[in-house]
Chains A and B, each alone.
Chain A
Amino acid sequence: MSLEHFMSEAVSPWLKEDGPDSDIVMSSRIRLARNFSAYPFPLIAGDEQMEHILHIMLNIFDQRSFADYKKLEFVKMSDLKAIEKQVLVEKHLISPHLADKSDYGAVLISENEQVSIMINEEDHIRAQLYFPGFQLGGALEQAFQLDDWLEEKVDYAFDEDRGYLTCCPTNVGTGLRASVMMHLPALAITRKINRLIPAINQLGLAVRGIYGEGSEALGNIFQISNQITLGRSEEDIIEDLKGVVEQLIEHERQARRVLVEQSPLELENRLFRSLGVLQHSRIIESKETAKCLSDVRLAIDLGFINNISKSILNELVVLTQPAFLQQYAKRRLSPNERDVFRASVIRERLNMEQKEEL
């Protein structure tokens, strides 16, 4: 099993490529929920039935490749240590739900980690596809092909009136959850984001912080996604989401311009202080790390800093998460030890950047 490389790299290979608008939109994701017509949903299904589904998916899809996404690796949750499952969660390759209810859960992950197909999650199949930057349209097109490819072998639960039948009424119809991950530091610094969120919600879209608890957005990284799945075509759902994301990009760019124009020195001061904290801390918590990383990434985007690569935010946000950190340390770390190790990993990583410069 080549689980090793899913565990060792913080940044998924696909995320290393630059996508459109990638100064603000980090990634686009399409997720489709599907179920076998012949089995009850995982909520009700018996052990034997769940086992059956695992076997079917393993036999048909393990080591196969969809389009040019490289081959799929079948990973059973029950074969993983708790910390390994957590790493996959931190890399967004599986959901927390799959990691927790793991007895008969599994995932098919493509070698470049762009495609992940969760099995026996809340639904029998949750197929997700990631793209770097802002590429919802392209992602949907590919997700449809992935869906057709799966459907060649699997009889889906589908109803002419209700669409794709899912365990939860919030997913029925298209089974589609489209989302983008956005870095919105200027809207957060100016607190404009607080006024924008309710307006976005009213359009039937959800906004949440991607790391951190509840609605708090660690690292000023927000996820925007559709909530309505029934009664609208996938294309229409995507169009709505795209429209809102385009506006948010515009708002964020505007807020960045205003920050630079109105208080350039204060801004520069704040951003370079954050770089200083990352470069010199001996102990640092994940919350402060995220804030400083967001600042440094903004400084790179604004051209204040140009000897550090843009991928630093993507990479260090994942690398400094609790499970990944321990995986990297190759041992269990207490919260205090984590803060020390985190600081040293960050220093090491930033040093690497500087050396490459020379």
Chain B
Amino acid sequence: MECQECQERQATVHFTQVINGEKMEVHLCQQCAKEKGYVSQDDDPYSLHHLLSGLFHQKANTLSHSSQQAHSYQELVCDKCGMTYPQFLKIGKFGCAHCYDTFSEHLDPLFRKVHSGNTTHEGKVPKRTGSDIHHRKQLRHLKLSLQQAIAAEAFEEAARLRDQIKAMEKRTEEQEEGDKQ
């Protein structure tokens, strides 16, 4: 199998990526995989932390070269725990849950590297406090399936999904009405 990226060399790195809920198979040669940051540069497959610190240092270096951007990085401070963005880059750990919001715009590339292309949670939702989230996720999934059904001209399936979505939305509205009273 040839590499998807350069379409020259033999693909030796194979994995599945999930982006926005869609699964994609990825086949790359060692070199392209390295360039895209999917495998660590030092060929030590055990050490995720190396990969992380590599990434951080890289960023820190490019920072010092472009002063404009560096400025905005420096100013990012988590107002809950006091962690600054440069500190976060240096130690590679968050100080508190709010850091995730504070540094949010810079996190996608980092998560992509660490979690083979993924940036969004796909798994469990807290049972007690997460029922709204659970509901919204379900609704989003249904809507996505509806689009796919329509695109595939599976109209019976689409009609069934549309009814399901309507029913769910109606239930939510009624609940919200109920909450107001």
Contact A230 B118 (CB under 8 A): yes
Number of interface residues of A (CB under 8 A): 53
| Residues of B with C-beta under 8 A to A231 | 17-19, 111, 115-122
Q: Contacts A44-B83, A170-B52, A176-B123 given: A204-B95 contact, CB under 8 Å?
A: no
Q: Once bound together, how far apart are the Cα atoms of A144 and B39, in whole Å?
A: 31
Closest A residue by C-beta to B110 = A169
Which residue of B46, B124, B128 is within 8 Å of A208 (Cβ)? Answer: B46
B118–chain A nearest beta-carbon distance, Å: 2
Cβ A162 vs Cβ B121 within 8 A: yes
The answer to whether A35 and B114 touch (CB under 8 A), given A160-B133, A170-B52, is: no
Chain A CB within 10 A, most for which of B107, B121, B128, B130? B121
CB-based A-B contact count at 8 angstroms = 150
Knowing A167-B93, A169-B110, A202-B13 touch, does A174 contact B121 (C-beta < 8 A)? yes
Given contacts A40-B81, A198-B45, contact A170 B97 (CB under 8 A): no
Question: With contacts A40-B81, A40-B95, A169-B92 known, is A151 near B127, CB below 8 A?
Answer: yes
Q: Name the residue among A39, A170, A237 with the largest chain B CB count within 10 angstroms.
A: A170
A193-212: CB near B (< 8 Å → 1, else 0) gives 00001100111101110000
- Collect the chain A residues with CB atoms within 8 Å of residue B122's CB: 163, 173, 231-233, 236
Interface residues of B in 123-143 (CB under 8 A from A): 123-130, 133, 136-137
How many angstroms between the C-alpha atoms of A113 and B127 in the bound complex? 26
- As a 0/1 sequence over residues 148 to 185 of chain A, the CB contacts with chain B under 8 angstroms (1 = contact) are 10011001111111111111111011101000000000
Mind listing 5 A-B residue pairs with CB under 8 Å? Answer: A40-B95, A43-B91, A160-B136, A164-B124, A231-B117
